[in-house]
Amino acid sequence: MLPTEPSGRVVVTGTGAVTPLGVGVDVFWPRLLRGESAVGPVTLMDASDYPTKIAAEVKDFNAEDWLDKKEARRIDRFLAFAAAAAQMAMDDSCFPAAPEVRLQTGVLIGSGIGGLTFLGEQIRRLYDSGPSKVSPFLVPYMIPDMASGYVSILHGLKGPNTCVVSACSTGADCIGVAYHTIKRGDAVAMVCGGSEAPINEIGMSGFCSARAMTTRNDAPAQASRPFDSDRDGFVIAEGAAVLVLEDYAFARARGAKILGEIVGYGMSGDAYHITAPDPDGDGAVRSMTMCMRRAGIGPEAVGYINAHGTSTPLNDKTETHAMKRAFGEENARKIPVSSTKSMIGHTLGAAGAIEALICLLALRDQTLPPTINYETPDPECDLDYVPNQARSAKLEIAMSNSFGFGGHNVTLAVKRPSSQE
């Protein structure tokens, strides 16, 4: 079953998702296509003293459905999300239990922030009761790499086990690095993606102080409005998505269903500012063009782009400008672009993984998810943003952009499987 040499192709055989629009792909995807908003008042903490009082929270999630009862109550929420999404993805792929396979299967699930809620709880213990009351699990449940370590332990996956942390590009980078890990023959399969649970006192305080989030508290469902002229900041969100990637020859040999193929991964640095994008979009342009070059395609081959599209004034304008530069203005105007953050908010380190999953589902169903709340066009954001309603389309290749604080830029390209696969 195990290939002696890498095939050079990397395919997706399983998916799992924990999102503000539902737990599980079959729940999440139909609601996304209907244009439902998951944004509402914050319930995970008391937000009454915060300028932003809304978020996109994961509802109907019970960690005890996925983990031992004691463990479920103890670990940070981002770890529980990662464990659940990974279990779904592995079940979906019908991944083999054979020890020789799991010896060559790795894990690469990142988080932009890690266990911030658990950290906050332990800091309160420290100041209220002293250092002896701080949990011995503080460090392992806080550090971002533990999502990979935890999933590896749960499933006995002994291949490459690491973590990428690149802010809001994390999930996309994890998929891209996992893709290269398989291509060069260091693993036959990788369980990869991103997980984030930042809706807590310190997370909300930090983003509020940075004035990055919307304050449209009186209309939560309309608060995230990427590319719209009246956008005023992003909506913080939580969630996770995990993909099972496999060497093509290995997947074919074991009779796995192939959901799509990762064909390109581009990355770059702005070297400009710790939070603001380069106004020329230079880094984003290089990320997209590198992705197309690695995929061996031209701009005309791309049928859909899932934009980073955060609903912040600078990001949306800059990304639009960058897409015009990367694809050429004429081509850019022909490519449908949507920001699904309009419905589920910004899941930070999980966003790139969730949005890569959305691209796979769009290819599968030949349907584009909308950008909701697009009401007042911005003259500087003048592409086809699939406004307010999902749309049927003929797609072979889709791309996803993810950009992060620190000037990180990542683009992934995914391809629809052929009828023979």
Active site residues: 168, 308, 346
Reduced 3-state DSSP string for 42-108: CCCCCCCCCCCCEEECCCCCCHHHCCCHHHHHHCCHHHHHHHHHHHHHHHHHCCCCCHHHHCCEEEE
Query: What is the residue whose two structure tokens read 């999980």?
Result: 350
Contact yes or no for 386/232 (Cβ under 8 A): no
Closest alpha carbon to 397 in 250, 321, 294: 294
Q: Which amino acid is at 375?
A: E
Alpha-helix runs per DSSP H in 296-407? 313-327, 329-332, 341-344, 351-365
Show contacts of 248-255: CB within 8 Å, 24+ apart. Answer: 248/7, 248/8, 248/9, 248/10, 248/11, 249/3, 249/6, 249/7, 249/9, 250/1, 250/2, 250/3, 250/7, 250/188, 250/189, 251/11, 251/13, 252/421, 253/1, 253/3, 254/1, 254/96
**Residues facing residue 239 across a β-bridge:** 196
Dihedral sign (CA 184, 245, 177, 411): positive
Tell me if residue 315 falls in helix, strand or coil. Answer: helix
Query: What is the residue whose two structure tokens read 């790795």?
Result: 106
Helix (H) or strand (E) holding 122: helix 116-129
Query: What is the residue whose two structure tokens read 């009454």?
Result: 48
Query: What is the residue whose two structure tokens read 């990762």?
Result: 262
> Distance between CA 94 and CA 207 in Å, rounded?
40
